[in-house]
Structure 1
């Protein structure tokens, strides 16, 4: 994949991993539309590292609070702040099991453009309905283990290109009655272990494929993904404090609908 394509993917990853519009759908569509056959796993790992750093920087207060709580727990002291750590753990485990258990099976069967387009539209509609119909009665500190587990199980659906990991967490949280900023914040916190695991997984795939590490390209990818990701985080939190998730739902429906139309009217656009 040429360096220009790597840069495009780094920018896209920084935006689509954070906003509820799904990165995998965009990557799969670009690969099919522009015939990008090779996947640079090392660059993908660098992109995840950049986004991980962006999340840690933006959410430093939550990260510091959880670190202090964990240290108190390890010293045998009770700490109310440890509930957030427990909820993130409970929500992460089923998501990891479902995602990595089904990834190999679904990589081929559900990466056709028509399936991606349908999922983009369907979960755009679901996001809109959940956001508009969901009550706004809960804050993140009111979460319990059952709700965290429900979010984690549904997060596993993000293995399907077109669903969006951030998007499905926000959708379920809004359905459970959490306020928009709290739903987005929990989704971002839940992304921290996911980014770390994805970076390690991509690095392992790169080693298995015997891909060489280009230090300059990896550093550039991590830097661009991190900067763009930080800006995307700031925009998401700014937006949801003042508005709804309708903007993102409309984008998903518009993109999916345009793709369905293109596939129907101009099927030759997609590489075979």
Structure 2
């Protein structure tokens, strides 16, 4: 891997991690289209650290409030809307964590192909468009009950399939349940913190137990680039959906999906 590839992959990770366009799909595409080598575990850990830092720092006030309320609910039996939201985020993380552990190898072997990416990109793009048009948009994230949390959590679990998009799946599910666009996005972003932490921890453990060489320069580029691009992406995304809804991202998904199908059909 070159420094250019490290920068490009980290930029892709940062820009797509929180958009409803599938970061996993975009990270697979360079190797499929340009023959780039796999970036390796160490680099995967680096970009996870960058995007995790971005979402935590951007939502630092909410994170501190939710953690404090969650802690108080356990040790002081103090319950409020913040502690409830914290528990619902934790509950919503369970399906993805279990599905990831049980199905990761199957996904890696059978579903990391451009045909799968193209198909899921189109299907879930159309689903996002339909739900966004029909959404009631009457509730915020603090009105999330355990049934809604599990529903969104199952949607997040399905996003392990390349091309689906974790944020796309969770935002679609939240809109379907009546969340406003802003509330759906915030809940999705907050949900990303525990799941990215778990994924990063798993990759870090594999890295420590393995013997893969570590290139410090690539890691620094990966962390800084993914952090800056992810932070900017979150900020712009929240502004875009307020004014334009999900339409720009639906159009992008359809163009990408059909473009891939055309490319595949010519090979």
TM-score between both structures, scaled by the size of structure 1: 0.94
**Displacement of 1:26:** 1.1
Alignment match, 2:205: 204
Contact conserved, 1:49 with 1:222, CA < 8 A, in 2? yes
Contact conserved, 2:42 with 2:204, CA < 8 A, in 1? yes
Contact conserved, 1:42 with 1:218, CA < 8 A, in 2? yes
Whole-Å separation in 1 of the counterparts to 2:210 and 2:36? 17
**Displacement of 1:173:** 0.4
Q: 73-82 or 123-132: which moved more?
A: 73-82
**Displacement of 1:150:** 0.7
Contact conserved, 1:99 with 1:157, CA < 8 A, in 2? no
Q: CA RMSD in A?
A: 1.3
Cα shift readout 1:10-29 (whole Å, capped 9, x = no counterpart): 00000111111001111112
Alignment match, 1:6: 6
Provide the secondary structure at the position in 1 that maps to 2:159: helix
Alpha-carbon distance change, 178 to 253 in structure 1, aligned in 2, over 3 angstroms: same
Counterparts of 1:62-211 in structure 2, within 5 Å, are: 62-80=62-80, 81-211=82-212
Counterparts of 1:222-241 in structure 2, within 5 Å, are: 222-241=223-242
Structure 2: segments with no counterpart, 5+ residues: none
Whole-Å separation in 1 of the counterparts to 2:37 and 2:4? 15
Structure 1: segments with no counterpart, 5+ residues: 268-272
Contact conserved, 2:25 with 2:162, CA < 8 A, in 1? yes
Number of matched pairs: 266
Alignment match, 1:56: 56
**Displacement of 1:77:** 3.0
Whole-Å separation in 2 of the counterparts to 1:202 and 1:34? 25
Whole-Å separation in 2 of the counterparts to 1:180 and 1:93? 24
Alignment match, 2:218: 217
Contact conserved, 1:99 with 1:158, CA < 8 A, in 2? no
Contact conserved, 1:54 with 1:226, CA < 8 A, in 2? yes
